[in-house]
Amino acid sequence: MKARQSLLILTLAACAGITLAETAVRNEPIQPLAPYVPADAAATAKAALGEKLYFDPRLSKSGAISCNTCHNLSMGGTDNLTSSIGDHWQRGPINAPTVLNSGMNLAQFWDGRAKDLQEQAGGPIANPKEMAFSHELAVRVLDSIPQYRDAFKGVYGKDTIDIQMVTDAIAAFEKTLVTPDSRFDLWLKGDDTALNDQELKGYQLFKGSGCVACHNGTAVGGNSFQKMGVVEAYKTDSPELGLEGVTKDEADRFKFKVPTLRNVELTYPYFHDGAAKTLEDAVAIMGRIQLGRQFTPDETADIVAFLKTLTGTQPDLKLPILPPSNNDTPRPEPFNAADSEPRPQNG
Ligand code: HEC
Ligand code: HEC
């Protein structure tokens, strides 16, 4: 009888244990990322159209630059360059942030000047330093291609394409670019074996020293603007003013959108000026100028080990095959007339 009773208690405890592990998320300032689930078939069709547009270099003047050029989904949604290379090899003013999980940002761009992904997506197409095209030309290119016309009609139910549809479809695709199931998420969901001792120590330090005041929530950032250089001024050659450029309020000088730290292992180099080449540098600088803390090399290594557990499952994409141009499609103009003069002969 006694044995049966304790067996019952054991069984109950085990059941309770299992339920806990499966449902209870640890009470931490960072929450696990949910995978993207399309609402319905229409949402899937819209994202599929947006995916084509995201990869289509014909939305640029040169015919060579797509969204994926600077937000390369093979490389964490960034270009891994200090600053991006745009039309005619122009140097961009600022480091390209990742598009991964960007749907969670409170606003888009380092200074938040676009309110959401759709508003953002119109920017680079017409930006002379990026894709250097115009919205009219981009629409003309797409409108000349029957397969695109059909796809837009299928999604938007209209015979004509406009730039709002283009940016809406791209934004719908970007919203699918979430990276769930990082090891840290598994730990948050109760898997004690998901992190090793060093990674756990790193997380405790990240939390205990105050990083989490700004890097928190589901995206571990992306939800506030904060001053770069709270305790000590940040030294940079970049003229960027951050939020002040948008609000014209001097109090907002050098405030930038706190970047998400999800997949930060993949999104080097770091900071808006791309000046920190390694995660160790970025962590040491953050400790010093945001918190007035000089981490030991071991402490820095622990935090870096924790940050690397934020790398999630990358979007599983099949390279989209784009419908071909035809005789009616406006042609790309990669070079200025002067660029195309014949090269002098050798000798
Ligand atoms: C020539 C490189 C380049 C191209 C091409 C480009 N981007 Fe960007 N993108 C950047 C840079 C640089 C920034 C940051 C600009 C800023 O904050 O002022 C950025 C910012 C963004 C952001 C904001 C992310 C955040 O966290 O604030 C999103 C989203 C984005 N781009 C999506 C796109 C899409 C969609 C396209 C294609 C229509 C595109 N980009 C084309 C370089 C590029
Ligand atoms: C007061 C708010 C604040 C605190 C505290 C803070 N950060 Fe940041 N963090 C930011 C902001 C803002 C940026 C972007 C600054 C920029 O690029 O100008 C940033 C950028 C970063 C980046 C670079 C990400 C990228 O993609 O470029 C890393 C890594 C980082 N922080 C880690 C940490 C760590 C580790 C701590 C604790 C030692 C910490 N942060 C504390 C606000 C903060």
Determine the pLDDT at residue 16: 44
Q: Please provide the average confidence, as pLDDT, over all residues in the chain.
A: 92
Q: List the structure tokens of 306.
A: 């924790």
At 2 the pLDDT is 45
Cα–ligand 2 centroid distance for 92 (angstroms): 21
Confidence of residue 343 (pLDDT cuts 50, 70, 90): low
Please name the residue that has the structure tokens 């992306």.
222
Instruction: Measure 258 CA to ligand 2 centroid, in angstroms.
Output: 6
| Ligand minimally distant from the alpha carbon of residue 245 | 1
Q: Which of 215, 254, 280, 291 to mutate to test the pocket of ligand 2 (most atoms within 8 A of CB)?
A: 215
Q: How confident is the model at residue 246 (pLDDT cuts 50, 70, 90)?
A: very high
CA of 305, nearest ligand number: 2
Q: Is the peptide bond before 128 cis (omega within 30 degrees of 0)?
A: no
CA of 5 to the centre of ligand 2 (A): 54
- Asked if 84 and 70 count as a contact pair (C-beta separation under 8 A), the reply is yes
Helix (H, G, I), strand (E, B), or coil: what is residue 27?
coil
Q: What is the pLDDT of residue 13?
A: 43
Tell me how far the alpha carbon of residue 344 lies from the centroid of ligand 1, in angstroms. Answer: 38
The answer to which of 122-136, 246-260, 269-283 has the lowest mean pLDDT is 122-136
What are 70's two structure tokens? 């600077």
Region 320-339 average pLDDT: 91
- In whole angstroms, give the CA distance from residue 31 to residue 162: 38
pLDDT at residue number 337: 73
d(CA 230, CA 213): 12
For 18, how many CA atoms within 13 A lie in the half-sphere containing its CB?
6
Does residue 294 sit in helix, strand or coil? coil
Is the distance from CB of 287 to CB of 209 less than 8 angstroms?
Answer: yes
Interior angle at CA 169, CA 163 and CA 170, nearest 5: 90
Integer angstrom CA distances of residue 167 from 11, 63, 134, 260, 342: 55, 18, 13, 23, 39
CATH architecture designation of domain 41-178: Orthogonal Bundle (1.10)
Judged by DSSP in three states, 264 sits in coil
Q: Where in the chain is the domain with CATH 1.10.760.10?
A: 41-178, 183-310
How many angstroms separate the CA atoms of 278 and 286, rounded? 12
DSSP secondary structure of 175-193: HT------HHHHHHTT-TT
Helix (H) or strand (E) holding 41: helix 41-55
Q: How confident is the model at residue 96 (pLDDT cuts 50, 70, 90)?
A: very high
Q: What is the mean pLDDT of residues 32-51?
A: 97
Mean pLDDT over 263-283 rounds to: 98
Say which CATH topology domain 183-310 has: Cytochrome Bc1 Complex; Chain D, domain 2 (1.10.760)
The pLDDT of residue 159 is above 60: yes
Please say whether the beta carbons of 275 and 229 come within 8 A.
no
Q: What is residue 24's predicted lDDT score, i.e. its pLDDT?
A: 86
- Nearest 5°: the CA angle 118, 119, 121 is 65
What is the total residue count of the chain?
A: 347
Q: Which residues are designated catalytic?
A: 130
Our answer on whether the CB atom of 282 is closer than 6 Å to any ligand 2 atom is yes
User: Which residue has the least CA distance to atom 2 on ligand 1?
Assistant: 70
Q: What is the structure's pLDDT at 8?
A: 44
What is the SS3 assignment for 200? helix
Q: Measured from the CA of 111, which atom of ligand 1 is nearest?
A: 17
| Triad 162, 167, 169: Cα angle to 5° | 95
| Residues contacting ligand 1 via CB (< 6 Å) | 65, 67, 69-71, 84, 86, 92, 94, 96-97, 99, 102, 105, 108-110, 117, 120-121, 124-125, 130-131, 170, 257
